[in-house]
Structure 1
Amino acid sequence: MNRDVEIEIRTVVQALQDNQNDVEAFLALHDQDAVIVNFGGRRVVGRDALAQAMSEALGSPLADVRTTNDVIDVRLVRPDVAVVSCVKHVRDERADGEPLATRGSLTYVLVDHGGAWQVALAQTTPIAAT
């Protein structure tokens, strides 16, 4: 893979992390028909549904849950489609609520739309504590 392409993809993943509490900036990083399966197993299809889900979450105690992502692997399955494997680290600063797993396996599928990489799919699976 071209190093510049990998840097572009890693930049998108960093922007996803940096904008996790900014609905509009976060949505701009997603394909119109993106599919997201979150840490709790909730599936959201499409940018409009993602906007609603994010707005609801940010208006709840979930706004006090922060995540960071470590990119483990980036590979192209086609010149315009990338699979990115990450470990998601969860910092739960809520006063109450069910405890969350502290780590998850996060997989992104990104698609290049004419020089702009966007998330087509994101899936996070909690990693059981050992």
Structure 2
Amino acid sequence: MSTDIDASTTAADTEAIKQVIATVEHAQNNELPDEFLALFRPDAIWTTGGGKRLFGLDAIAEFTRQVLPGGMRDQTVTFELEHLLFIRADVAAVKLRQVYQTPDGVDVGSPLWILAKEEGRWLLTACQNMGVPDDEDVSPNRPVFGTTK
């Protein structure tokens, strides 16, 4: 098995992955569960910032439909692409810096998303989120991820 990846494919795929990131940001900020859920493989794994493990799109959808409507009230989130590793031409590891702006201050997360390319689309496949305890921008009371102690 070869892991050689064509540079022109990598550039196009990088742009497509950036669009997935932008869509997640848009869906979360605008509380659009269907837009968010359309980005997942049916067998995806998602671990929330609070450590809740969700297996499969049905579980992810049930959780998302409970927390997303109203969950972004008075806050916004941005995602900054920190690192992109093409494991194979159709599998990528995406490391992000997730910044929540809340009335109680800033909170920072560090998601790792594994995306797989299926029928020409990059889909969220195995994703985990966590708070960043030592980030200089984090509010002492951790409004999103909880206390740092």
Same fold per TM (> 0.5)?
yes
Q: Which runs of 5+ in 1 are unaligned?
A: 94-98
> Structure 1 residue 31 and structure 2 residue 41: aligned?
yes
Distance 2:106 2:114 in 1: 23
- Give the strand-richer structure, 1 or 2: 1
Distance 1:58 1:73 in 2: 27
Superposed CA RMSD in Å reads: 1.8
Which structure's relative contact order is higher, taking Cα pairs within 8 Å and 6+ residues apart? 1
Q: Which runs of 5+ in 2 are unaligned?
A: 1-6, 137-149
Percent of aligned pairs with the same amino acid = 23
Structure showing greater Rg:
2
3-state SS of the aligned residue for 1:13? helix
Hey, what does 1:82 align to over in structure 2?
Answer: 92
**Runs of 4 or more consecutive aligned structure 1 residues displaced over 3 Å after TM superposition:** none
C-alpha contact (below 8 Å) 1:35/1:43 kept by paired residues: yes
* 1:52, distance to aligned residue in structure 2 (A): 1.0
Give me the TM-score of the superposition, normalised by structure 1.
0.86
Distance 2:44 2:19 in 1: 18
- Aligned in 2, Cα 1:76/1:55: closer, same or farther, shift over 3 Å? same
3-state SS of the aligned residue for 2:64? helix
Structure 1 letter corresponding to 2:27: N
- Aligned in 2, Cα 1:59/1:15: closer, same or farther, shift over 3 Å? closer
Number of aligned residue pairs: give it. Answer: 124
Q: What pairs up with 1:1-130 in 2 under 5 angstroms?
A: 1=7, 2-20=10-28, 21-59=31-69, 62-64=71-73, 65-93=75-103, 102-129=107-134, 130=136
Distance 2:88 2:59 in 1: 28
Give me the TM-score of the superposition, normalised by structure 2.
0.76
Query: Deviation per CA, 1:73-123, whole angstroms, max 9, x where unpaired?
Result: 111101110000100111234xxxxx7970011111000002100000111
